[in-house]
Amino acid sequence: MKIALMMENSQAGKNAIVLEQLNSVADSLNHDVFNVGMSDENDHHLTYIHLGIMASLLLNSKAVDFVVSGCGTGQGAMMSLNLHPGVICGYCLEPSDAFLFNQINNGNALALAFAKGFGWGAELNVRYIFEKAFTGERGAGYPLERKEPQVRNAGILNEVKAAVLKDDYLNTLKAIDQELVKTAIAGERFQQCFFEGCKDEQIANYVRSFVD
């Protein structure tokens, strides 16, 4: 699995802590991690709005399989990511949230709170969240006897989102302020991750139009 970590300006100073914990879990599972957001307060400036655009590009182009995002409370990042087609983002404050999202919703992104409740032992909580997010059979249901309706309802929810967002994915990006997109894709590490893994030439050409 390819996992992208993206952090915005308010919590960029914690990137090293979060990245270390994510790498420690991902390495043991043979997953690849791409640190595509801000690495410190002096890095290319991003808000949680940009994170949604970045996540959508990476997931819809299949450059990565999963996105870990967040902000101070995690709420803004979750809402920003869920605005976009092809992104199913869960809100995660503790390991049980990650486990239940994995088992029931089987989405492709998480939004964590990197300020609220991020105190003593926070790095342990983050590590345990990642362990629950990336181990076990996805979509297995919880409790197990509820698997069938949970899988059915998760599928219906995805169908409803697709119906509400009926427009072509690229058209949805072109409909928003293009300066937001330009800023979102401007980071060198994001571009490297995107272009190395992108499997959709139309999306790739769209991103190239900002960087060529």
In this structure, are residues 46 and 15 in contact, taking their beta carbons and an 8 Å threshold? no
Residue type, 141: G
Under the banding of pLDDT at 50, 70 and 90, the label for residue 158 is confident
The rounded distance, in Å, linking the Cα atoms of 10 and 116 is 12
Lowest mean pLDDT among 66-75, 78-87, 117-126, 165-174: 165-174
> Taking all residues of the chain, what is their mean pLDDT, rounded to a whole number?
95
pLDDT score at 43: 94
Average pLDDT over every residue of 149-170: 87
* Res. 162: pLDDT tops 90: no
Residue type, 61: S
pLDDT score at 8: 97
Two tokens at 173?
């990006």
Q: Which of these, 85, 81, 92, 84, lies nearest to 22 by C-alpha position?
A: 92
Domain of residue 118 covers 2-211
Handedness of CA 68, 73, 75, 80 (dihedral sign): negative
In this structure, are residues 123 and 14 in contact, taking their beta carbons and an 8 Å threshold? no
Two tokens at 100?
């239940």
Average pLDDT over every residue of 27-47: 96
* Res. 212: pLDDT tops 80: no
Q: Please count the structural domains in the chain.
A: 1
Residues 6+ apart with CB under 8 A from 58: 4, 36, 64, 67, 193, 194, 197
* Res. 26: pLDDT tops 90: yes
pLDDT score at 110: 98
Under the banding of pLDDT at 50, 70 and 90, the label for residue 166 is confident
Average pLDDT over every residue of 185-211: 96
3 state DSSP class of 134? helix
Q: What proportion of the chain, given as a percentage, has pLDDT over 70? A: 100
Q: In which region does residue 139 sit, left (phi positive, over 0), alpha (psi from -120 to 50) or beta (all else)?
A: left
Lowest mean pLDDT among 20-29, 66-75, 153-162: 153-162
For 110-144, the pLDDT digits (tens) are 999 999 999 999 999 999 999 999 998 888 888 88
pTM here? 0.94
Q: For position 52, which CATH number holds?
A: 3.40.1400.10
